[in-house]
Amino acid sequence: MDSEPPYLGQNCVTPYPRGEVLLRSAWAFVQVTIFRWSPRPWHGFRARLLRLFGADIAEPAHVVIFPTARITFPWRLSLAPRSMIGRHVTLYNLAPIRLERGANVSQNCHLCAGTHDFNDWSMPLVTAPIVVGANAWIGADVFVGPGVTIGELAVVGARSVVVRDLPPRKICVGHPCRPIKDRQPPQ
C-alpha cells in the first residue's frame, strides 16, 4: 500500500493553548461588535477595550485607534502615548507589536509579525516582534514583515514593503523598502 506523498501543512497543529484560543475567540467577538460599532471619535474607549484584553496602553485617552482596525492578539500590543492606528490597519501580531510615542500607522497598512517555516512539511509558525519607533510615520498601504524595527522619525512611503530594519531619520520607499534620503525633524 502506497503512502500519501507529503504536502505543505502536513501534521500542522495550533501552537496556542486552549485558553488562548478561547480568549482570542472572545476578543474576535468583541472586535466585530462593540469595538467596530463604536463611534469614530471614541479612540479612548477602543483603547480601554484593548487594555481589558491585555494590551499595554498606559494612557488610553492619548492614543488614536480607528474602529476599522483589526488586531489579532490585544495582549501582544503595546501603544505609547500619541501613537495612532489608522483606518483599516491590520495588526497581525502573532508576536508583539509596539508603537513608540507619536508613531503613526496610516490607513490600510498590514503589520505581520509571523510567517511559517516552509522548509518543514508541517509549516510551523515562526514569529518575530515589530517595533515602530518614536514619531515614525508609515504611509498608506505599507506591508511590514516579522522582526522589523522602524527607526525614530523614519518615514515609510505609501505601498512600500518593509522586510528589513529601517534606520532612524530617513525617508524610505520601495519594494523592498530602502532609505533614499535624510528626514529633517519637523518644524
Whether residue 166 lies inside any domain: the answer is: yes
Residues 94-104 have a mean pLDDT of 98
Whether residue 11 lies inside any domain: the answer is: no
pTM confidence score: 0.94
Domain count, the chain: 1
Whether residue 82 lies inside any domain: the answer is: yes
Q: What angle do CA 49, 72, 7 make, to 5 degrees?
A: 165
CA distance 156 to 144: 10
pLDDT confidence band for 11 (50 / 70 / 90): confident
Q: What percent of the chain has pLDDT over 90?
A: 88
pLDDT reading at 1 higher than 60: no
CA distance 168 to 54: 29
Q: What is the DSSP letter of 33?
A: I
Domain harbouring 65, CATH code: 2.160.10.10
Query: Per residue in 45-84, pLDDT tens?
Result: 999 999 999 999 999 999 999 999 999 999 999 999 999 9
Whether residue 9 lies inside any domain: the answer is: no
Whether residue 65 lies inside any domain: the answer is: yes
Query: Per residue in 103-121, pLDDT tens?
Result: 999 999 999 999 999 999 9
CA distance 158 to 28: 29
Q: What is the DSSP letter of 76?
A: G
Query: Do 145 and 116 form a contact (C-beta atoms < 8 A)?
Result: no
Lowest average pLDDT, out of 8-12, 151-155, 160-164, goes to 8-12
pLDDT at 77: 98
pLDDT confidence band for 10 (50 / 70 / 90): confident
Whether residue 64 lies inside any domain: the answer is: yes
Cβ-based neighbours of 177, under 8 Å, separated by 6 or more: 142, 156, 157, 160, 161, 162, 163, 164, 166
pLDDT confidence band for 16 (50 / 70 / 90): confident
pLDDT at 185: 84
Whether residue 111 lies inside any domain: the answer is: yes
Whether residue 6 lies inside any domain: the answer is: no
Query: Per residue in 162-179, pLDDT tens?
Result: 999 999 999 999 999 999
CA distance 79 to 77: 7
pLDDT at 2: 63
Domain around 60: 18-180
